[in-house]
Amino acid sequence: MSLYERIYLLAEQIPPGVVTTYGDLARIVGGGCDARTVGEAMNAIPKDRAQSVPWQRVINAQGGISTRGLVQRQLLEAEGVVFNQRDRTDLRRFGWAGPSPEWCAAHGFIPLPPRDDASAEQLSLF
DNA sequence: CGTATGACCATGC
DNA sequence: GGCATGGCCATAC
């Protein structure tokens, strides 16, 4: 299984109405995978996976959209994700906690460390 | 194999 | 908060 396929398998676990970041997916994949690589993978989703990979739920660490145009934002808003006046979403509210530890263990992924209140407090976007 | 490229990110003004 | 840098790493040529 190629690296990109692992990234797609992981991205398919993101439920509707939440978002995650390139960097978080990279950390869950592990093995030196980094945020740019996840971005590359999202840019290269094969046709047969286009319907199963929720690429729109992957955004940057600032809570913003990295793609051009309005498509991604509109898809997210249709799922209930709210953006503020500076085109950012609150990752504390809409950020995905990652797959369950059981799922990670079953597929060889690394669970995302829980975000503590201290690190989550720095952004009061709303 | 070296080089360039990019849906990125942490850091330091 | 914005902006510039350097680092990161898989692909494509």
pTM: 0.92
Positions in chain C where some atom is under 7 Å from a protein CB: 1-2, 7-12
The answer to whether the beta carbons of residues A72 and A65 sit under 8 Å apart is yes
HEC letters along A2-20: CHHHHHHHHHCCCCCCCEE
Q: Which residues touch strand B (CB under 7 A)?
A: A 21-23, 34-40, 42-43, 45, 55-56, 58, 60-62, 66-67, 72
How would residue A122 be classed by pLDDT, with cut points 50, 70 and 90? Answer: very low
Question: pLDDT digits over A31-50, tens only?
Answer: 999 999 999 999 999 999 99
The answer to whether the beta carbons of residues A48 and A123 sit under 8 Å apart is no
Question: pLDDT digits over A4-17, tens only?
Answer: 999 999 999 999 99
**Does the structure show a pLDDT above 60 at A118?**
no
For A1-93, strand residue ranges (E) read: 20-21, 58-59
